[in-house]
Structure 1
Amino acid sequence: MVKRTAILFLALGLTPLVPVYSGNGTDAVPFMKVDTGARAAGMGGAFAAVADDASAIFHNPAAMTLADRKGIMFSHAEWLEGIRNECISYVHTSGTDWTFGAGASMLFSGSMKKYDRNGGEAGNFTENEGFISLGAAKNLGDKLSGGLGIKTIYQKAGEESDSAYAADAGLLYHYGKWRFVLGMENIGTKLKLYRNKFDLPAAYKTALAWRVLDPAWITIQLTNRPIGGLSAAMGVEYKLAIRKEDSVYARAGYVSGPGSAAGSGIALGLGIGNTGFNLDYAFTPFGDLGNVHRLSLSAKFGERTKTLRAREANLTPYKRHTTKDRGWQNLKK
């Protein structure tokens, strides 16, 4: 069982054994490649252009401007052999063109046997890693917004530990029912473990989202990592209103490429929610290794604010407007 745990760590790309002993060609804290939040995971990670909730700080800081109310999200991911990921995030709408956010994510991998280069046992090995992120986003016009995030990252591998600092940045452009994203994440300093320095899992993103009629999103996302290569993801989210303020969400996604950490590549998700609360679940199969389950609970509160999302829902792309516009008045109701 212990050896199987080590194999699972290697298969998921979540083990420090890889960077510790392999030198060049690997990066630190690889769990930062994993999708954060059940909604994003259920869409195969193709989420940078539709992240309109409190999890936006993890996926695209510019998307925080899509939030129409303050929000908070708690997320739990149950990986294989007891590996788990816990996250919390918050988005703060200010009533102006500025939106702010914060988030924290931790990976708990428990303890496993440590092996030397010859395959012999060398005691127990424990790893914990995580990061804290702060961000701000601003509407740069009727159709464009930009965001910036900074984060501190921590990794403890056995007796070794270190921290690093990184930045995320993104641009979000929308035209009617289309959204386009350019972004980058984890651009920063290196982590030093066992006398070796390792790059952070940097990534450059391009994403496109299309609102099909009113109840559905179709998204495509390309992610290029200097260490890991290119991955492509596609996701779908369909919203079914069951009562005036209650809805059910069905999601599916697929991701492929060496730069991903999504098992078979298939992802499925479900959600229920209303104007104040959402409960989301995502399922990712890893074949013979087992399955990964994610659960997120999110809440929105406070008054609605005038945001890019509100404009998209109520106004034509070219129209300049104020809060006196009829569309905005309808939204407030």
Structure 2
Amino acid sequence: MKRYCAAALLLTVFGLPAFAARAGSDAMPFLKLDSGARAAALAGAYCASGDDALSVFYNPAGAAVAARKEFVFSHTEWLQGIRHESLGYVHPLSRNSTVFGSANMLVSGEMVKFNAAGSSVGSFSANDYAFGGGFASALGRRFYGAIGMKLFYQKADGNGATGWGGDAGLLKLYEDFRFGFSASNIGGRLKMGATTFNVPLMLRTGGALLINEQYWVMADVTKPGAGDATVGAGSEAEFEINRTDAFFVRAGYRTGRSTNAGSGLTLGAGLRNRDLRFDYAFAPYGDLGDSHRFTLRYAFGAKRTAFERTGKIRDYGTLDKDIPLSKRKKQVEMEKKKTLGEFNW
């Protein structure tokens, strides 16, 4: 019985069906959850530090600085077979433009259904989906922006609701510092019949600092829907194994009361093997217990022309993951002595 109650609580907190919510209240609150193990291990501080397919869930402008085409898939297993799945993709079109897509899903297993008298009357499942796509581009020298659209769909016990929303983000890069701002689920609504329910608007702003070309320190402020703003801070260290492989260690902390989901200490690790990268994260979720996230990333295809022409490290404020750490440090010193290349606008 305790497991059923915990699972019911999980659905209520992160997957509240629109037909069970009050008009004007947030539906699909699972969209407040972290997507991806790397970001979760950094306490969600990914608005400025993201430069890959995972960034489309935090700040889509990060897709504009992705070096190559990339897929990312993330899986989180909750109680009673409830799963949180995320899929992202970035596709550079040119040195200045990128398209991206995403899918974010909360899928439940079969749950026991009870009537008013407390008797079992069968089973049901509740599934939430958010599908998105958009365009990211350079807006100026080391300044990037992105816009996107989302389709929301929710189905539970034979009832369904649909809606639309938008995403937008900005990212500014300096020598070893980044600053970002994003808004997710803009104008998001779920509509069932004549009744409309809000999808939580996620506002994020944050910064990230690269130290010694090996360590990241980042922090974000997040305003989740009608909830209180939270602060998440994290750090990441990279340790080179050989020319193509590396190991990553991460830790973070998110503010909030202990009963709030997603607050407290977060930990994680990652392993890169050539074009593949595997990440793991541990994060506490208050009364709902602890979560374990697993993410697989795959990068492929040629790098952007701009990366090859001017050097990714200095133009994009991040590290070229195809170059060993020891060689990267030498490259950075060489780049500092050169005049920075400009984009062709």
Q: What's the TM-score bracket when you normalise by the shorter of the two chains?
A: 0.7 to 0.9
Letter in 2 for 1:128: N
- Shift of residue 21, structure 1, vs aligned partner: 4.3
Unaligned runs of at least 5 residues, structure 2: 319-331
Distance 1:115 1:5, change over 3 A: same
Q: Which residue does the alignment assign to 1:14?
A: 14
Structure-2 separation of matches of 1:41 and 1:316: 33
Q: Say if 2:266 is the partner of 1:283.
A: no
- Shift of residue 256, structure 1, vs aligned partner: 2.2
Unaligned runs of at least 5 residues, structure 1: 324-333
Structure-1 separation of matches of 2:180 and 2:39: 16
What's the secondary structure of 2:57's corresponding residue? helix
Q: Which residue does the alignment assign to 2:326?
A: none
Q: Which residue does the alignment assign to 1:5?
A: 7
- C-alpha RMSD over aligned residues: 2.7
Q: Which residue does the alignment assign to 1:74?
A: 73
Aligned residues: 319
Instruction: Give yes or no for contact 2:250–2:268 (8 Å, CA) kept in 1.
Output: yes
Q: Which residue does the alignment assign to 1:40?
A: 39
Q: Which residue does the alignment assign to 2:268?
A: 269
Structure-2 separation of matches of 1:122 and 1:173: 55
Distance 1:295 1:225, change over 3 A: closer
- Shift of residue 86, structure 1, vs aligned partner: 1.8
Distance 1:264 1:208, change over 3 A: closer
What's the secondary structure of 2:38's corresponding residue? helix
TM-score (norm: length of structure 2): 0.84
Structure-2 separation of matches of 1:208 and 1:243: 30
Q: How does 1:1-333 map to 2 (within 5 A)?
A: 1=1, 2-10=4-12, 13-16=13-16, 20-24=19-23, 26-114=25-113, 124-193=123-192, 196-257=195-256, 262-286=261-285, 289-305=288-304, 306=306, 309-310=312-313, 311=315, 312=317, 315=335, 319-321=339-341
| Offset from partner CA, 1:11-45 (integer Å, 9 cap, x none) | xx11426x644515631111111111111111111
- Shift of residue 291, structure 1, vs aligned partner: 2.2
Structure-2 separation of matches of 1:212 and 1:255: 22
What's the secondary structure of 1:229's corresponding residue? coil
Instruction: Give yes or no for contact 1:255–1:262 (8 Å, CA) kept in 2.
Output: no
Structure-2 separation of matches of 1:230 and 1:240: 34
Instruction: Give yes or no for contact 2:169–2:183 (8 Å, CA) kept in 1.
Output: yes
Distance 1:118 1:20, change over 3 A: farther
Distance 1:241 1:281, change over 3 A: same
- Shift of residue 87, structure 1, vs aligned partner: 2.0
Q: Which residue does the alignment assign to 1:328?
A: none
Letter in 1 for 2:11: F
What's the secondary structure of 2:147's corresponding residue? strand
Q: Which residue does the alignment assign to 1:331?
A: none
Instruction: Give yes or no for contact 2:260–2:285 (8 Å, CA) kept in 1.
Output: no
Instruction: Give yes or no for contact 1:67–1:309 (8 Å, CA) kept in 2.
Output: no
| Offset from partner CA, 1:122-171 (integer Å, 9 cap, x none) | 65342101111111111112221101111111111222111111110011
Distance 1:188 1:117, change over 3 A: farther
Instruction: Give yes or no for contact 1:69–1:302 (8 Å, CA) kept in 2.
Output: yes
- Shift of residue 105, structure 1, vs aligned partner: 1.9
**Which stretch of the first structure deviates more once superposed, 305-314 or 73-82?**
305-314
Structure-2 separation of matches of 1:316 and 1:95: 25
Distance 1:3 1:274, change over 3 A: closer
Letter in 1 for 2:237: Y
Letter in 1 for 2:265: I
TM-score (norm: length of structure 1): 0.86
Instruction: Give yes or no for contact 1:142–1:317 (8 Å, CA) kept in 2.
Output: no
- Shift of residue 299, structure 1, vs aligned partner: 1.0
